């Protein structure tokens, strides 16, 4: 996607009158991709963060990376050194 591209953002707060759940019409906020990637876009009605497809994709990628992370156990020498210091 290009930075000049305009992205649709939506409110997902179920109690907000501008959300996709509460409105009979499709309430969309159109902003440049560069703004979506650089700052949090907020709903004017409820101040909830607006969600866009690129934001969801980024969050999903980050989540996948976090789940793939395997914790590394410190070596035994390190554990003994820490215990001795305590």
Q: What is the pLDDT of residues 43-56, one digit of tens each?
A: 999 999 999 998 88
Exposure b/e, 25-48, CB count within 10 A at least 16 = b:
eebebebebeebeeeebebeeeee
Q: Which residues lie across from 16 on neighbouring strands? A: none
Q: What is the pTM of this model?
A: 0.65
pLDDT of amino acid 76? 59
pLDDT of amino acid 10? 93
pLDDT (tens digit per residue) in 5-37: 999 999 999 989 888 887 677 689 999 999 998
Evaluate if residue 1 carries a pLDDT over 50: no
């Amino acid at each position: 996607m290009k930075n000049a591209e305009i992205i649709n953002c939506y409110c997902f707060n179920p109690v907000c009158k501008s959300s996709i759940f509460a409105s009979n019409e499709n309430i969309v906020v159109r902003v440049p991709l560069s703004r979506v990637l650089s700052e949090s876009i907020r709903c004017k009605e409820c101040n909830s963060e607006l969600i866009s497809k690129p934001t969801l994709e980024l969050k999903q990628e980050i989540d996948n990376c976090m789940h793939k992370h395997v914790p590394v156990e410190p070596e035994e020498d390190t554990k003994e050194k820490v215990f001795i210091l305590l």
